[in-house]
Amino acid sequence: MRETLDCAVLMTPGHEAWVQDWVGRQHGQQGRLRLHAQELSALAPGAPDTRLLARARLALRRFDGCLVPVAPASLSWVRTVLANAGGGPRTPLVALVFDITAPAILDLLALGAADFIRAPACTDELRARLVRLRRAVQPAAMPMPPGTPGSAAGTPCATHAIREPAPLYGARTALRRAATRARLESALAALQAQEAIQADEPFRQAKARVVAGFEREYLRRALSRHAGNVARAARASSKHRRAFWALMRKHRIDAAPYRQGADGSPGASG
């Protein structure tokens, strides 16, 4: 019998009506996948916008995964929320991207999204990805030595908590990091395959294009992590503030979209 999974569909800014309509059209369940429209502010009452995901982590643990719609207008908000979500285990986040560029998708993956799918959303694909993510994080069963409480040769004890050996924590951390690198490399390869390959491009021109792309994404990621604060972003990047500003002017990057508006609403991203 196939397992039924529960997926929260987060109502990101500008997607509230779409999420409710889409979940309603799926009748909440499709192909052994139950969908639940969720508002982050309701899961984390009183939390500032930048800390919503971090505060809602415990409430989201009851779900097997979260689907996060991301469009150009909500991209900066999602970036900020992911950057402030903190580390540690959490419910896997799958980004549902609407007209988002390849570098922006890679940025979301680097900030903590576990995977992505492109709109229009396919519930069968979403369930398959959630199943894969669940299997990736489930630790392998470890045989217990004879005489251990709860083992076949020992005295059974239903309330005994089996703790992992200390060296295993470091191994699991290394495995998680390796899985993250593999996911990013896989996503990059898939996205690059969709873009035109300019085989006859001159070396200098190709190098300049790649360097410019790196600089743009580095600046955007730094500004996203520091909510548009140029001074802090420059300091974290080990660059002088004037040099950081010069790069922003060179690539026509404005810090305003990465800041929260005065009324608490997120800015749009270009």
Same domain? For 9 and 132 the reply is: yes
Say whether both 37 and 132 belong to one domain: yes
Same domain, 126 and 9: yes
Domain housing 115: 5-137
More confident residue, 63 or 163: 63
Distance, CA of 75 to CA of 77 (rounded, Å): 5
φ/ψ of residue 42, rounded to 5? -80, -30
Residue 154 in domain: no
User: Would you say residue 217 has pLDDT above 80?
Assistant: yes
How do residues 169-204 score in pLDDT, each as one tens digit? Answer: 455 556 666 666 665 655 555 555 444 445 567 878
Structure tokens given for 45: 């009452």
Q: 209 with 131, same domain?
A: no
Q: Is residue 172 part of a domain?
A: no
Are 14 and 86 members of one domain?
yes
- Neighbouring-strand partners of residue 221: none
Last residue of a domain, one of 137, 154, 174: 137
What is the reported pLDDT for 151? 45
Same domain, 13 and 102: yes
Which tokens hold the place of 114? 């576990």
**53 lies in the same domain as 125:** yes
Across-strand partners of 5?
33
Angle, CA 25 vertex, CA 24 and CA 30 arms, to 5°: 95
Task: Let me know if residue 195 belongs to a domain.
Answer: no
Q: What is the number of domains present in the chain?
A: 2
**What size, in residues, is the chain?**
270
User: Does residue 169 sit within a domain?
Assistant: no
Residue 28 lies in a domain: yes
Mean pLDDT value across the chain = 75
Pick the closest to residue 208 from 246, 240, 251 (CA basis).
251
> Does residue 21 sit in the same domain as residue 97?
yes
Quick: pLDDT tens for 62-100: 888 899 999 998 888 888 888 888 765 578 889 999 988
Q: Is 211 in the same domain as 122?
A: no
Q: How far apart are CA 241 and CA 247, in angstroms?
A: 10
Same domain as 126, residue 236: no
d(CA 165, CA 163): 6
Establish if 171 belongs to a structural domain.
Answer: no
Q: In this predicted model, what pLDDT tens digit does every residue of 5-60 receive, in sequence order?
A: 888 899 888 888 888 888 888 765 556 888 888 888 888 787 787 788 888 888 88
- The total of other beta-carbon atoms located within 10 Å of residue 191's CB is 15
- Whether residue 131 sits in one domain with residue 10: yes
Q: Are residues 124 and 210 in the same domain?
A: no
Domain boundary among 86, 116, 137: 137
26: closest CA among 66, 18, 98? 18
CATH of residue 102's domain is 3.40.50.2300
d(CA 259, CA 256): 5
Closest by CA to 183, choosing from 97, 74, 92, is: 92
Task: Flag whether 265 is in a domain.
Answer: yes
Q: Is residue 182 part of a domain?
A: no
> Does residue 116 contact residue 187 with C-beta atoms inside 8 Å?
yes
What single DSSP character describes residue 188?
A: H
Last residue of some domain: 137, 163, 179? 137
